[in-house]
Amino acid sequence: MRLSRSMSLVVGSLLLATSWAQAQDGQPARVRGTIAAVEGQTLSVTSREGPVVKIQMAPNVGLRGIKTAAASDIKPGDYVGVASAPASGSQPAGALEVLIFPAAMKGANEGSFPWDLQPNSTMTNATVSNAVENVSGRQLTLTYPTGSKTVSLPTNIPVVTFADASAADLKPGAPVFVPATKAPDGTLSTAFVVVGNQGVVPPM
């Protein structure tokens, strides 16, 4: 059976929702860097830490590009992933980046948990329950099953959403973010790759 384009996008987003959540279970190994080589299903990435890391991609690996969005695009009811720095005193946590998920991924790995974008950062995947503007900028209230969190969005932080991508986008020099799983023997595998195919480096 041949799927329509719209149905394919829904199925693809559901696959990504599953792989995004699974990649955070057990032993996560988030790889950020640029593609060094692609050999069959093996993706070699020059990581931001320096070493080249080899990752085995699933046969049906989900691929997504990344494109720029705007803080003004974020509205109540949206499902977002917000990496943030720790709160300071009475000030809310400051967002480091915002990913606006497609509707089909709502609920993927919902919650707030440690993240390694920078020291002591967290990732909050949640529904926006309130979005307001004030003299210090835009603030979001994020609600998830076990609580809520308010974050401020500094001017010019990356705000992105997913875009289409294909295997042709996995080429040397392309920036990637790979939420991988580390096996007991140290090998890495993934079902999901985010590639900067539109001139945007995946900021998560």
**142-182 pLDDT, tens digit each:** 999 999 999 999 888 999 999 999 999 999 999 999 999 99
Mean pLDDT over all residues of the chain? 86
Q: For residue 3, is pLDDT > 60?
A: no
The single residue listed with the structure tokens 């946590």 is 93
The percent of residues above 90 in pLDDT, for the chain, comes to: 71
Domains of the chain, each with CATH number or no CATH: 5-66+162-195 (2.40.50.140), 68-160 (no CATH)
Entry pTM: 0.85
Cα dist. 177→19, 75, 96, 140, 172 in Å? 13, 25, 15, 25, 14
Residue 111: other Cβ atoms inside 10 A: 13
The pLDDT confidence band at residue 10, using thresholds 50, 70 and 90, is very low
**81-109 pLDDT, tens digit each:** 999 998 877 778 899 999 999 998 899 88
Q: For residue 6, is pLDDT > 70?
A: no
**73-82 pLDDT, tens digit each:** 899 999 999 9
